[in-house]
Amino acid sequence: MAEMAQKKGMRRILIIVFIVVILMIVSAFMAYFLTKNFLFQDKAKEEKKVLAPYQAGEFLTNLADHGYIKISLVFLLEGKDAEKELKQREYEINDRIYSILRAKTFESVKNSNGMEVLRGEIKNNINKLLEKAKIVDVYFNSIIVN
C-alpha cells in the first residue's frame, strides 16, 4: 500500500513536470511567432511606402546680386496622392522656389556645397507647404549659373 502511494506520488510529479515542460515549449513558440510577426509588420509598413518622381519643371530667374540661375528640378515624393497634392499647389510651390532662387547670390550657388544648401532649402520650404505629401529628395536635372 505504501508502494502504491509512492507510485501515485511519482506519477503526479511526472505529470506536473510534463505539463510544465509542454507549457514552456508552447510559450516559447508563441513568443517567437508574436515577436516575428511584430518585427516583420514594421518592415512591411516600410516597404509599402511608395516613392514617385515628380517633374517640378524648369526655373529661370535673376540672382540677388548679378547673373542668373536656371535649374530643372525633380522631386522624389512620398505619400498617397502626393502628385495630386503637388499639382493642386503648383502655383504656391513655384512661387516659393522662385523666391528662394531670387534670394541667392552668385557666390552662394557657384559650387557644389552651395547647391547642396539650395537643395535642402527647397526641400524644407516645399515640405512646409504640403499637408499629406512629403518630398524625400530634390534632384537637379540641369543647372546653369551665370
23-58: pLDDT as tens digits: 899 888 888 888 877 776 666 555 567 788 999 999
pLDDT of 32: 84
C-alpha to C-alpha distances, 44 to 47, 116, 141, nearest whole angstrom: 5, 32, 32
Tell me how far apart the alpha carbons of residues 82 and 7 are, in angstroms, rounded to a whole number: 74
Write down the pLDDT at residue 51. Answer: 87
Q: What per-residue confidence (pLDDT) applies to 48?
A: 66
Cα 83 to chain centroid distance, Å, stands at: 16
Which ranges of the chain have pLDDT less than 70?
1-2, 4-5, 40-48
pLDDT of residue 8: 73
- Helix H, strand E, coil C: the string for 49-110 is CCEEEEEEEEEEEECCCCCEEEEEEEEEEECCCHHHHHHHCHHHHHHHHHHHHHHCCHHHHC
Structure confidence at residue 106 (pLDDT): 92
